[in-house]
């Protein structure tokens, strides 16, 4: 069911500073910031030869990233995203196996313009998992 790792997401308290660190200190290619109001975040992607790193900053006080940063003020790894061929089939298989899908259980459009779902971290050893249909 799982494909390749699409990206690893890191929540950051200051997206501009994090972007500058990845670009100027690490020499990485980074995208322009993209606001995703439906998800409550602004994101920047760090392009790597084998995957991407997503830097997340809260967009508004109700953002789930704001709550994460409240517990981890310096930032930290937020989730890992795996690719799937059919997100609805993956969701149905996971739910049948007892996994919990966050939100209303229906895919939303993510930063890459593709359907995404998030799986409860308590079902996956403390790791928040995002699935993205490719």
Instruction: Kindly name the residue from 54, 57, 130, 132 that is annotated as catalytic.
Output: 130
User: 66 Cβ partners below 8 Å, 6+ apart?
Assistant: 40, 58, 60
Task: Evaluate whether 58 touches 15 at the Cβ level (below 8 Å).
Answer: no
Task: Clarify whether 38 is annotated catalytic.
Answer: no
Can you spell out the DSSP letters for 1-30?
----EEEEEEE-S-HHHHHHIIIIIS--EE
Entry field: residues in the chain: 134
List residues with catalytic annotation: 130
């Amino acid at each position: 069911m799982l494909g390749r790792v699409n990206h690893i997401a890191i929540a950051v308290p200051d997206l501009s500073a994090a972007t500058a660190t990845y670009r100027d200190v690490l020499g990485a290619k980074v995208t322009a910031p993209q606001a995703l109001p439906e998800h409550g975040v602004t994101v920047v992607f760090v392009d790597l030869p084998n995957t991407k790193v997503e830097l997340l900053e809260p967009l508004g006080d109700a953002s789930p990233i704001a709550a994460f940063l409240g517990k981890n003020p310096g930032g930290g790894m937020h989730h890992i995203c795996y690719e799937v061929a059919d997100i609805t089939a993956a969701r149905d298989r996971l739910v049948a196996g007892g996994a919990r899908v966050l939100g209303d259980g229906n895919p939303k459009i993510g930063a890459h313009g593709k359907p995404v779902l998030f799986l409860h971290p308590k079902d996956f050893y403390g790791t928040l998992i995002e699935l993205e249909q490719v």
